[in-house]
A = this chain, B = another copy of it.
Amino acid sequence: MRTRNYSPEIARKLIRCAKGELPCDLVLKNGKIINVFTGEILDGDLGICAGYIAGIGTYRGIREKDLKGRYLSPGLIDGHIHIESSMLEPLQFARSVVPHGTTAVICDPHEIANVSGLEGVRYLLESAGNLSLDIFAMAPSCVPATEMETAGAKLDATEVAKLLDHPKILGLAEMMNFPGTIFADPDILEKIKLTQQRGLLVDGHAPGLRGKDLQAYCAAGISSDHECTTLEEAQEKIRSGMYIYIREGSTAKNLAELIPLVNPATAPFCLLVSDDLHPDDLLQTGHLDNILKKAVRLGLDPVTAIQLVTINPARRFGLEDIGAIAPGYRANLVTFDDLTDFRVKDVLVDGMLCAEAGKLNGETVEERQDQAVPLAVKNSIRVKWSDVDFSLPVRGSKVRVIELVENQLITKSQSLKPTIKNNFAVADPSRDLLKIAVIERHKASGRMQVGFVRGFGLQRGAFASTIAHDSHNIIVVGVSDEEMLLAAQSVAEINGGLAIVTGKDLVASLSLPIGGLMSTASVQEVAEQLNTLRKKVKSLGCHLDNPFMALSFLALPVIPELKLTDRGLVDVKGFHFTPLWM
C-alpha cells in the first residue's frame, strides 16, 4: 500500500492548520462536499495546507475560494487505460485530461513496451514525473502478445521483475494470455509469482471466460477483469472475486450493459475505466467526466458513480492517500456544476488550481521537461528497405483474403481468385480487393508479409501506420505496390506515424515520433490532423469512419478470424499460420 507519506514537518503544519492554530494555505468555501465513505453530500469549509487536506469544518485561509455551491469531489482516477491510445505523449495527455477532472491514471504501457521494452516503459513513467497528473502503471504481462509476430522487445519474467520494483508500478497488467494462464504456462505463472511476492496485484483480461476456466484463471491469482460484455459474465466474475472494471472507452463500450451489476453489495468491487481513449473523443467528449455523465444518465446513483472512479480504484490499487476528501489526503479535487452533466469547473492537484472551466490554469501549465527521450523510443523505425517488396508472384488459384467487419475488431476469412497481371497477383480496387502488408520495423530484419484485404473501399493511393497492435510494425494498405512503398517510407521518414499517398505525393501525415505511437503535439493538433487524414482517406474512396483504427487491428493475431503479421497470415482460431495461396 502507498499511504500518506509526508515529512514530520508537514505533518506538524497540517495538524496545526487542522486545529485552527494556523491559517490554511487555501480554504474552499461553500462547496457541497462529496463524502465517499458515507455517500453523503455535506457542507463545510475545506482547509488545505502544503498540498494536503487539513480539515473540514470552519476554517480560514491565507487564500479563500468561494465554490458558490458547486459539488466538490475527489480527483478522478482511471483504473485502466493505455495512454498510447490517445496518441499523446504523457505530457500532452496530462494537459488534455486534467481539465476533465482526471488526477490519476493506472496505465498499462504495453504499446510502448512492444516497441521499446523496458526503456519505453521507464520513459513513460519518468516523463510523467513532473506532471500534475499521477501516472501509475502496471507492468505489461504479454510482450510480445504472441510468438507469431516480431515486436521491438520481449519482456520475460526477469524484465517484468525489474519493472515491478519501480515505485510507480502497482502490479502486473492485464493478463491477456488467458489461454496460456489456464494452461498453466510456466512463464506466466512465474510472472504472477514475482508480482505476488512483492505484494502487488494482477489485473486480468479474459473476454467471455466462464465456468471452470474462469475458476482456473482466478485461482492462478488474477483478481480483476475489464473485458465483460454481458451482465451475466460480469456477475459470474465478481462472484469469483474479481474487481470488475466497467469499460466505456473509444473502442469498447460496455457501460449500458453492465450498469445493473452495480448494487450496494457489489459497488465496492466495481470501477469505471476507459481502457482506450482516442484523441478526438478526448477532445470532444472528455474522459471520466463523460463516463460519469453517461453512467448517471443510465440510472446509476451519482455519488456511487463517483465512488467508482475515486475511492474504489484508490483502494483496489492500495493508494491510500487519494480518492477521498478527508484530513491527510492529498488535495486532488474536482468541482462539478451539477451531478447530471458533470461539467468540470475547478481541478486542484496537491492543492494547486491546475484547470478552470476546461482550460489549464496559465500559472500552472505543465512545462515540457528537457528530459532525454531514450534513443530506443525516439528512433524506433528500423527497416531494411532493400528487402521490401510488395509483389506477389502467382502461386495458386485462390488467395485467402481478410474481410473487414465494420465497427468490429474481428475479421472474416474469404477465399477469392485474385486479379492477375503478368503472372503477379495485384490489388484491384474495382473489386475492393486491396493489398495489405506488414513490414517489421524494429530490427531491420527485412521480414515482411503481403496479403489481401476487402472492406476499405479505397479507390486510389495507399495509407500506412506504425500503430499496428500489438507489435506495432508498419502496416500499409493500397491499390498499388509503388504507392504502398511510398506510404511506408513516408511514415518511416517522420519517425513513425500515419501517412497517405497518392501517386508520388504525400497527401497528409501525422508524426508520432515517440515510439511511432505518440505525438508531442497538443490534443487539439493531433485530433485535427487525424481528422484531416480521415477525410483524405474518405476522399480516396474509403467509406470507413476510422480507417486507421481498422488498419491498426489487422495485425493483431489474437482476435479472429484472419490477420496478417510480419511473419505470415494467421488463422486466429487455429492459432497457426496459414498460406496466402490455396
- Chain A positions within 8 Å of B, measured between CB atoms, are 1-8, 11-12, 14-20, 35, 37-40, 42, 52-57, 181-182, 184, 186, 189-190, 192-193, 195-197, 199-202, 211-213, 215-216, 218-221, 223, 235, 238-241, 263-269, 303, 315, 318, 320, 324, 326-329
**Option from B11, B53, B327 in Cβ contact (under 8 Å) with A193:** B11
- Which 6 residue pairs spanning A and B have beta carbons closest together? A241-B326, A55-B215, A39-B265, A264-B264, A18-B216, A218-B327
14 residue pairs of the A-B complex, CB under 8 angstroms, read A3-B196, A5-B196, A5-B197, A15-B184, A18-B212, A19-B182, A19-B216, A39-B263, A40-B239, A52-B219, A55-B212, A199-B318, A218-B328, A239-B326
If A57-B215, A265-B38 touch, does A199 touch B2 (CB 8 Å cutoff)? yes
Q: How far is the CB of A310 from chain B (nearest CB, A)?
A: 12
Q: How far is the CB of A327 from chain B (nearest CB, A)?
A: 4
A329 contacts across to B, CB distance below 8 A: 241
Q: How far is the CB of A494 from chain B (nearest CB, A)?
A: 44
Q: How far is the CB of A224 from chain B (nearest CB, A)?
A: 12
Q: How far is the CB of A30 from chain B (nearest CB, A)?
A: 18
If A55-B216, A56-B215, A266-B38 touch, does A189 touch B328 (CB 8 Å cutoff)? no
Q: Do the beta carbons of B268 and A268 come within 8 Å of each other? A: yes
Closest to A268 in B: B268
Q: Do the beta carbons of A326 and B240 come within 8 Å of each other? A: yes
Q: How many copies of the chain does the oligomer comprise?
A: 2
Q: How far is the CB of A244 from chain B (nearest CB, A)?
A: 9
Q: How far is the CB of A108 from chain B (nearest CB, A)?
A: 18
Closest to A213 in B: B19
A269 contacts across to B, CB distance below 8 A: 37
Q: Do the beta carbons of B42 and A7 come within 8 Å of each other? A: no
Q: How far is the CB of A344 from chain B (nearest CB, A)?
A: 24
Q: Do the beta carbons of B14 and A54 come within 8 Å of each other? A: no
Q: Do the beta carbons of A221 and B54 come within 8 Å of each other? A: no
Q: How far is the CB of A83 from chain B (nearest CB, A)?
A: 25
Closest to A243 in B: B37
Q: Do the beta carbons of A199 and B3 come within 8 Å of each other? A: yes
Q: Do the beta carbons of A219 and B264 come within 8 Å of each other? A: no
If A37-B241, A57-B212, A221-B11 touch, does A1 touch B199 (CB 8 Å cutoff)? yes
If A199-B1, A239-B42, A265-B39 touch, does A219 touch B318 (CB 8 Å cutoff)? no
What's the Cα separation between A54 and B211 when bound, in Å?
12
Q: Do the beta carbons of A184 and B315 come within 8 Å of each other? A: no
Q: How far is the CB of A387 from chain B (nearest CB, A)?
A: 41
Q: How far is the CB of A485 from chain B (nearest CB, A)?
A: 47
What's the Cα separation between A213 and B213 when bound, in Å?
53
A315 contacts across to B, CB distance below 8 A: 315
If A57-B215, A196-B5, A197-B5 touch, does A38 touch B221 (CB 8 Å cutoff)? no
A2 contacts across to B, CB distance below 8 A: 199
| Known A3-B196, A42-B239; 6 more pairs at CB < 8 Å | A3-B200, A3-B221, A14-B220, A39-B266, A264-B264, A265-B303
What's the Cα separation between A564 and B493 when bound, in Å?
85
Q: How far is the CB of A216 from chain B (nearest CB, A)?
A: 4
Q: Do the beta carbons of B220 and A328 come within 8 Å of each other? A: yes
What's the Cα separation between A184 and B18 when bound, in Å?
11
Pick from A20, A192, A221, A324 the residue with the most CB of B within 10 Å.
Answer: A221
**Option from B19, B215, B324 in Cβ contact (under 8 Å) with A54:** B215
Pick from A11, A19, A197 the residue with the most CB of B within 10 Å.
Answer: A11
A211 contacts across to B, CB distance below 8 A: 57
Q: How far is the CB of A226 from chain B (nearest CB, A)?
A: 16
What's the Cα separation between A197 and B266 when bound, in Å?
32
If A3-B199, A193-B7 touch, does A238 touch B18 (CB 8 Å cutoff)? no
What's the Cα separation between A27 and B53 when bound, in Å?
50
What's the Cα separation between A239 and B5 when bound, in Å?
21
What's the Cα separation between A181 and B15 when bound, in Å?
9
What's the Cα separation between A195 and B221 when bound, in Å?
28
What's the Cα separation between A211 and B44 when bound, in Å?
12
Q: Do the beta carbons of B238 and A11 come within 8 Å of each other? A: no
Q: How far is the CB of A186 from chain B (nearest CB, A)?
A: 6
What's the Cα separation between A18 and B217 when bound, in Å?
9
What's the Cα separation between A212 and B45 when bound, in Å?
12
**Option from B39, B55, B223, B267 in Cβ contact (under 8 Å) with A219:** B55
Q: How far is the CB of A10 from chain B (nearest CB, A)?
A: 10
A184 contacts across to B, CB distance below 8 A: 11-12, 15-16
If A18-B219, A182-B19, A320-B223 touch, does A239 touch B35 (CB 8 Å cutoff)? yes
What's the Cα separation between A239 and B196 when bound, in Å?
33
Q: Do the beta carbons of B265 and A219 come within 8 Å of each other? A: no
Q: How far is the CB of A23 from chain B (nearest CB, A)?
A: 13
Q: Do the beta carbons of B4 and A1 come within 8 Å of each other? A: no
Q: Do the beta carbons of B216 and A15 come within 8 Å of each other? A: yes
Q: Do the beta carbons of A219 and B53 come within 8 Å of each other? A: yes
A324 contacts across to B, CB distance below 8 A: 241
Q: Do the beta carbons of A192 and B11 come within 8 Å of each other? A: yes
A15 contacts across to B, CB distance below 8 A: 181-182, 184, 216, 219-220
